[in-house]
Structures are given as C-alpha cells and as structure tokens.
C-alpha cells in the first residue's frame, strides 16, 4: 500500500436547516484499494458522496484529487476528474439498448459531408471491448429493459469503468445480485484494483466488507468515528463502532399501557414478488407501539403497504379484532379503522397545490356530507382547525398551500388528516424522515399521546435509537423475512443490527 492518496476529502462540513449532516469529516482513499464507507442510515455516507459528486456544496472543507485541490460543481465535472458512481437505484434508460446507455452524452461521431452522425460501428466495437476487458457476457445491442436487474447492475459497473475513472463509488452494488454474481463482482473489483483504480464501497453487509475491503471508514451522526485497516476489524467491532452512541433524552416519556388484547394479527403474510416479504407473522396489541427495524431493502415498507391494501398479497391471513379480513384497497383499510403515513411524504402523502384545509380533510370527507349531499363547510373548517391546533401545526392559516410549510409541519398535517378519521391502528413509515430534530420530538410526543389514548401504532424506522426510544417491542426484518423481536433490556443497537443482517450472505 503506498502513502499517496488519489482522493482526499479534508474537514468536510455540511449543514441543512436544523441538522448537521457532516461535521468535519476527513476521508482519504489510496489508489488501487477498496475503501469501505460504513455507518447507519443517516450517518452521512450519502451526503459525503453527494458532496464529492457536486450534488451538494460543502459548507467547509476541501477536496483534493491526486494532490491537487479541485472544485466540483456537478456530476459532469466529477466524471471529468475521473470520479464515477454506481447508484443504488438504477439510472438506465430501459427502452434503449446497452451501448446507447453506456455512451449516452458522449457518442462517438463521424462526419459525412456536412452532416454529423453517430458512429454506430465504433460504438459497438468499443462496447464489446469494454465488456471483454471486464469479462462480462453482455450483448451491446440488447435492450436494457429486457435484462435482469443483476445484469443491469453489471452494465452500470461497466459504464462507470468506461469513463476511465480513477475512483469508482459503489453504493450498495450487491443489493440485487445473487451470491454467484457477487463473486463475479468481486472479481471485477479485484481487476480494477490491479489497474490502480480506487473503489469506494458503501454497503451494510459487513461480511462483504470484511471480504473485499482494504480499509474501512466509519461515520456516525455526521462525524467520522475513525479509519481502520479491514484486517483489524471484526463483525462485532464494526457494529459497536457504527452504533455506539450515548442515548440522551431525545424521546418523551411514554405512559401507554399495552393491553393483552390483540387488535391485529398477521399470519404468514407473503408477497407475490420473489424478492419481497415472506411468511410474516406477528400480533399487535391495543395501545402498543410496535417498531419495525431493518436495513434498506428489508421490505418493511412493502409489508405495511400490503397491510393497508396498497400491495397484493399472495398468501397469509389478517385478523382484525379477532375477525379475519381481506384488505385489498386503502378504502377497506380505512373503513376498518386503519391509517397509513407513507414514507415518501411528497410523492404519496401531501397534495402540494392544495391548501392545509383540503389536505387535512381529504381522508375524512364522507363524515362531512350533509343530507342534501353537500359538504358541511363550517364543520369541515372547525374540525380541521381543531386537529391542526391540537398537533400544533405552524401555518399562517388554513388557506396556506401545504407546499409552503416545512417538512415537519407537513408531516403534522398528515397526522391531522388521519387523526380526523379516528383510526385505531396507525401505520407510520419512517415518520420522522427528513424532519429536523425539534420537530422529531413533537412527532414522538404525538405518537406517545396516541398510544396512551389506547391507539395501536406500527412504525418503521431506520434509526435504531428511535426504535429503542419509542417502541414497546421491536420487530426486525432482513431481506423480506422476519428475523426476530426484541424488547426491554434486549432492545440494544447491537441486537437489532445482528437481527437486521441475520439472513445476509
């Protein structure tokens, strides 16, 4: 290992309103090595990589490439500096073929007279050569949409390599690969290493990291915990360094008393999709807060969306208050007394162009229809006002468009929307995502109050302290399967992390 660094990110800080996403983080990568970047969700890995890729502008700190200071404004400049990235979500144009995807934005050209055309033959040759070098068996003319997800992943890797990158960032590259394909990915990574390319490898899979990485940098709460040679690390060491944070008083006291009465029972719930949830069985008690933990890809969202009738179920039974029910639409779920706060607040929660009043009332309109079929506007306004005040939503008026409120206040409006329907079971998917610290506490308080009133809550969270601080019991999932429950004394970050990686290769 040599002492020169191909990439140095020195003392990077980045602040968002209400949250310090990166605090004086230094991250250095040597050429020809695999450097793993680890941390919990929200530890700052993505933010750091986005700073490197020019998607965010750091508030402080400098980036050096081969010892020279650089300013990176956008993804293209990052590529020009020899940094390329394989994204966690695939970015291919599924309707076009492989080689067009690889050379998009930099097609080889040829001139015929006054006209410029794309040089298809050269493009084909170059693509073939690229794949041969990487020992990938992909036809450059295959339509991407017809390829399997794992092959598309390989294509993305080839594309990253095709930029002659000095540094390749791989964000969860193995998430959609089979065991055999992961072996091949590692083969490719070793080839790249031998050619002097540095790999930044982001993954939750500790076993993989220990197998492939040379060095490991661990982040926690936007701060660097440290950097170690992978050979000096073990599974337990990594976990304790990732999660070892003292818990302060970040959560309100909970006074709810879960009863022994079951309100919701799920037996063997299985998705028709191969990669999704399988054989999930659990019980939810009256007045209980049940947390669901797990890593990205554990299929937690898919599970509760299926409970709410948004996704199909192949097998399994759901019992609500002791009676078996079939929930095949959100309307059915709502009528039973369930409600769902989705994870993607903007995509599936708010109506951005409608005002706070309409956003608050929309799920409860049937209750305001008078006998003449018209809506009772004064009742609507009064109820919305009551709910908005009860949850302390900070809004200039009910007529304000919801898109003009902060994320935390939007989330409170969504709580208000569902509280008006007087639900008995609340499904909350990452209820505090993208919300600043102060508003988080308010959301926790709302949850604690609701449970105290005897409502039952299931909430998904990727933040382990939140699970430990708010849940009576924590159910942990891994790759679509239920890996166990923890509660009380056993509810430690180490135990959750162990369960969350239980079925990983």
Partner 1 sequence: MRLIESQKIKNFITMNAIYIVLILLIIGIAFIDPRFISIVCLRDILIQSSTRIIIALGIFFIILTGGVDLSAGRAVGLAAVITASLLQSPDYLRRFYPDLPQLPLILPILIAVAICLLAGLINGFIVARFGVPPFIATLGMQVIIYGANSIYFDLPPNNSQPIGGLNRSLTELGTGAIGEGLYSLPYIVIIAAVVAVVVWIIANKTQFGKNVYAIGGNVEAARVSGINIGKNLMVVYAMAGALYGLAGVLEAARTGGATNNYGTSYELDAIAACVVGGVSATGGIGKVPGVLAGVLIFSVINYGLTFINVNPYWQMIIKGLIIVAAVAFDIRKYRRRK
Which positions lie near partner 1, rule CB under 8 A?
308, 310, 329-331, 333-335, 340, 342, 347-354, 358, 361-363, 365-366, 368-369, 373-375, 377, 403, 417
Q: How far is the CB of 184 from partner 1 (least distance, A)?
A: 37
What strands lie across the sheet with 68-70, from one edge to the other? Answer: 19-29, 7-16, 60-65, 68-70
Task: Closer to partner 1 by CB, 295 or 426: give it.
Answer: 426
CA atoms of 309 and 231, how far apart (whole Å): 47
Task: Closer to partner 1 by CB, 403 or 487: give it.
Answer: 403
Question: Nearest to residue 498, comparing CAs of 232, 204, 228, 275?
Answer: 204
Task: Closer to partner 1 by CB, 65 or 388: give it.
Answer: 388
Task: Closer to partner 1 by CB, 359 or 461: give it.
Answer: 359
Task: Closer to partner 1 by CB, 94 or 362: give it.
Answer: 362
Task: Closer to partner 1 by CB, 343 or 479: give it.
Answer: 343
Q: How far is the CB of 429 from partner 1 (least distance, A)?
A: 10
Question: Nearest to residue 272, comparing CAs of 306, 301, 320?
Answer: 306
Task: Closer to partner 1 by CB, 314 or 377: give it.
Answer: 377
Q: In Å, how far are 254, 285, 497 from 483, measured between CA atoms?
A: 26, 20, 11
Residues 6+ apart with CB under 8 A from 392: 412, 442
Question: Nearest to residue 483, comparing CAs of 242, 203, 279, 260?
Answer: 279
CA atoms of 158 and 156, how far apart (whole Å): 5
Task: Closer to partner 1 by CB, 26 or 329: give it.
Answer: 329
Q: How far is the CB of 214 from partner 1 (least distance, A)?
A: 39
Question: Nearest to residue 39, comparing CAs of 52, 29, 28, 49?
Answer: 49
The alpha helices in 278-329, defined as continuous H runs, are 300-307
Task: Closer to partner 1 by CB, 201 or 418: give it.
Answer: 418
For β-strands 7-16 and 60-65, DSSP reports them as antiparallel
Q: How far is the CB of 74 from partner 1 (least distance, A)?
A: 14
Token duo for residue 300? 């937690």
Q: How far is the CB of 422 from partner 1 (least distance, A)?
A: 13
Q: How far is the CB of 351 from partner 1 (least distance, A)?
A: 4
Rounded to 5 degrees, what are φ and ψ at 352?
-55, -35
Task: Closer to partner 1 by CB, 417 or 498: give it.
Answer: 417
Question: Nearest to residue 34, comparing CAs of 72, 79, 1, 75?
Answer: 1
CA atoms of 256 and 131, how far apart (whole Å): 59
Let me know: does 140 contact 128? Beta carbons within 8 Å. yes
CA atoms of 204 and 156, how far apart (whole Å): 20
CA 264 to chain centre: 27
Q: How far is the CB of 320 from partner 1 (least distance, A)?
A: 16
User: Which residue do the tokens 């990938």 mark?
Assistant: 136
Task: Closer to partner 1 by CB, 241 or 311: give it.
Answer: 311
Token duo for residue 462? 């990727």
Token duo for residue 434? 């993208």
Task: Closer to partner 1 by CB, 112 or 347: give it.
Answer: 347
Q: How far is the CB of 265 from partner 1 (least distance, A)?
A: 23
Q: At what angle do helices 493-500 and 235-243 cross, to 10 degrees?
A: 120
Q: How far is the CB of 367 from partner 1 (least distance, A)?
A: 10
Q: How far is the CB of 359 from partner 1 (least distance, A)?
A: 9
First CA to last CA distance, the chain: 28
Q: How far is the CB of 468 from partner 1 (least distance, A)?
A: 28
> Strand, coil or helix: what is 204?
coil
Q: How far is the CB of 439 from partner 1 (least distance, A)?
A: 20
User: Which residue do the tokens 């661990």 mark?
Assistant: 218
Task: Closer to partner 1 by CB, 73 or 211: give it.
Answer: 73
Q: How far is the CB of 225 from partner 1 (least distance, A)?
A: 33
Would you list the DSSP string of 56-124? Answer: S--SEEEEEETTEEE---SHHHHHHTTEEEE-SS----TTSBHHHHHHTTS--EEEETTEEEE-HHHHH
């Amino acid at each position: 290992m040599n002492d020169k660094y191909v990439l140095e990110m020195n003392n990077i800080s980045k602040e968002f309103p209400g949250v310090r996403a990166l605090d004086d983080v230094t991250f250095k990568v040597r050429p020809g090595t695999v450097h793993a970047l680890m941390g919990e969700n929200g530890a700052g890995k993505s933010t750091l990589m986005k700073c490197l890729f020019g998607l965010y502008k750091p508030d402080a700190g400098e980036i050096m490439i081969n010892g020279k200071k650089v300013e990176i404004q956008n993804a293209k400049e990052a590529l020009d500096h020899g940094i390329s990235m394989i994204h966690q979500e695939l970015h291919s144009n599924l309707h076009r073929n492989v080689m067009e995807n690889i050379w998009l934005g930099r097609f080889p050209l040829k001139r015929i007279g006054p006209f410029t055309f794309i040089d298809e033959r050269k493009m084909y040759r170059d693509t073939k050569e690229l794949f041969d070098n990487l020992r990938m068996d992909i036809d450059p003319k295959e339509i991407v949409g017809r390829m399997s997800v794992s092959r598309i992943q390989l294509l993305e890797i080839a594309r990253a390599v095709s930029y002659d990158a000095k540094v390749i960032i791989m964000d969860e590259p193995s998430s959609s690969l089979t065991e055999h394909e992961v072996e091949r990915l590692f083969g490719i990574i070793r080839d790249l290493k031998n050619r002097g390319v540095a790999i930044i490898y982001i993954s939750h899979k500790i076993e993989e990291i220990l197998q492939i990485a040379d060095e490991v940098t661990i982040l926690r709460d936007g701060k660097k915990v440290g950097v170690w040679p992978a050979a000096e690390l073990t599974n337990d060491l990594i976990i304790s360094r990732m999660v070892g944070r003292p818990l302060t008083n970040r959560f309100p006291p909970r006074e709810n008393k879960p009863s022994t009465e079951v309100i919701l029972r799920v037996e063997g719930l299985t998705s028709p999709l191969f990669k999704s949830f399988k054989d999930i069985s659990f019980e939810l008690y009256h007045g209980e807060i049940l947390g669901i933990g797990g890593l990205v890809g554990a299929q937690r969202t898919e599970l509760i969306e299926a409970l709410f009738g948004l996704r199909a179920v192949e097998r399994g039974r759901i019992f609500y208050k002791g009676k078996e029910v079939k929930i095949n639409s959100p309307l059915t779920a709502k009528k039973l007394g369930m409600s769902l706060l989705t994870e993607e607040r903007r995509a599936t929660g708010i109506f951005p162009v409608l005002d706070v009043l309409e956003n608050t009332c929309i799920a409860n309109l049937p209750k305001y229809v008078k006998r003449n079929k018209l809506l009772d506007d004064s009742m609507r306004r009064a109820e919305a006002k009551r709910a908005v005040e009860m949850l302390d939503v900070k809004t200039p008026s009910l007529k304000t468009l919801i898109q003009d409120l902060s994320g935390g206040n939007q989330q409170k409006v969504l709580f208000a929307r569902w509280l008006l329907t007087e639900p008995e079971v609340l499904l909350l998917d990452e209820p505090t995502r993208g919300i600043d610290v102060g508003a988080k506490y308010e959301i926790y308080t709302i949850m604690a109050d609701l449970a105290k009133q005897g409502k039952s809550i299931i909430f998904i969270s990727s933040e382990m302290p939140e699970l430990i601080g708010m849940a009576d019991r924590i159910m942990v999932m891994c790759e679509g399967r239920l890996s166990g429950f923890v509660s009380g004394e056993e509810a430690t970050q180490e135990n959750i992390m162990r369960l969350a990686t239980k079925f990983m290769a």
